[in-house]
Copies of this chain bind each other. A is one copy, B any other.
Amino acid sequence: MTVEGIKVVDATLRDGGLVNDFFFDDDFVKALYKANIEAGIDYMEFGYRASKKQFDPKNFGKWKFTSDKDVWNVIGEKNPRLKLSIMVDVGRTDFREDIGPRKDSPIDLFRVATYIETIPEAIEMIDYISSLGYETTCNIMAISKCTDEQIANALYQLAQTPALAIYIVDSYGALYPKQARKLTRLYHQILAPAGKEVGMHAHNNQQCAFANTLEAKDLGAKWLDGTAFGMGRGAGNCHSEALIAYLNGKKYHVEPLLKLVEDWMLSMKENGVEWGYNTSYMLTGLTNQHPRTAIAATKKKDYQYIEQLKFLSYQ
């Protein structure tokens, strides 16, 4: 198993934050941080740095607005084995005000999340944040809704930015392995000549998150996202313990993540934080739609799947 150049990114606090409004126990964050280091994970994402003008901090845990200080408070000193990232959404962050120079920050990487329609804004953010000394990636969301032409057009533009990698973000969990391969090839073809790498962020609506991540890896994607026990919006993500188990060897070690599942993730789920595959998510993935109707159905314990499919088919 070659893991050369692979960067596993733990996105638990970020995608997982979408299912608990970013209310994580500090002890959990510390345990996750420690587990990630011991597992050999390459990056840990400390949530978002969202605009406090747009979102009321009273309604969310701190990891939606993660400040450098929040991170220092939890990690103490920086461990050189694990780089740290934060996600910023186009249009939902005051990046010019809220991001300072890298030299004072525990953060190494900002991941700029964008829809295909706002690539110019994403590029503006990438340029600005890179100029502060940070690494950047661009994460193109809802990729299953984009045409190949749109994607190619976006990638040619992004190839000229300082971003290290561009992500395939399967927000809707709509991709099958075949499509994951096709997109990885398309990305690679355009990005490799510019020295950029490809990333995969998968969702598990159709139980393909892990499979799609492996498929992307085999075709050269270097940035692979996982979350502990798959914690993430709706059906959740590629389970980082499954991914690390697969990559297990000299660099990666699954045991710390298994311990984390045992110590934290099972009880988090039992205590009512909801994520993971169910039939409602399968249907939004199948129809290539935002999981919001399935999230609502899951919350309401609505199991009328035929009605749900009908509704989705008319979208």
Contacts and interface: CB of A to CB of B under 8 A. Distances in A.
Interface of A: 176-178, 204, 206-212, 214-215, 218, 229, 239, 241-242, 245-246, 254-255, 258-259, 261-262, 266, 277, 279, 282-283, 286, 303-306, 309
A190 B239 CA distance: 36
Given A207-B210, A282-B245, A304 B218 contact: no
Interface secondary structure of A, over-half rule? helix
B211 A242 contact: no
Total copies of the chain: 2
Nearest to A283: B245
Nearest to A218: B178
A242 B261 CA distance: 27
Contact of A258 (B204, B241, B261, B306): B306
Nearest to A302: B262
Contacts of A211: 176-177, 207-208, 211-212
Q: Which of A241, A245, A309 has the most CB of B within 10 A?
A: A245
25 contacts: A176-B211, A176-B214, A176-B246, A177-B211, A177-B214, A178-B215, A207-B207, A207-B209, A207-B210, A207-B211, A208-B210, A208-B211, A211-B212, A229-B279, A241-B279, A241-B282, A255-B309, A258-B309, A259-B306, A261-B303, A261-B305, A262-B303, A262-B306, A266-B303, A277-B277
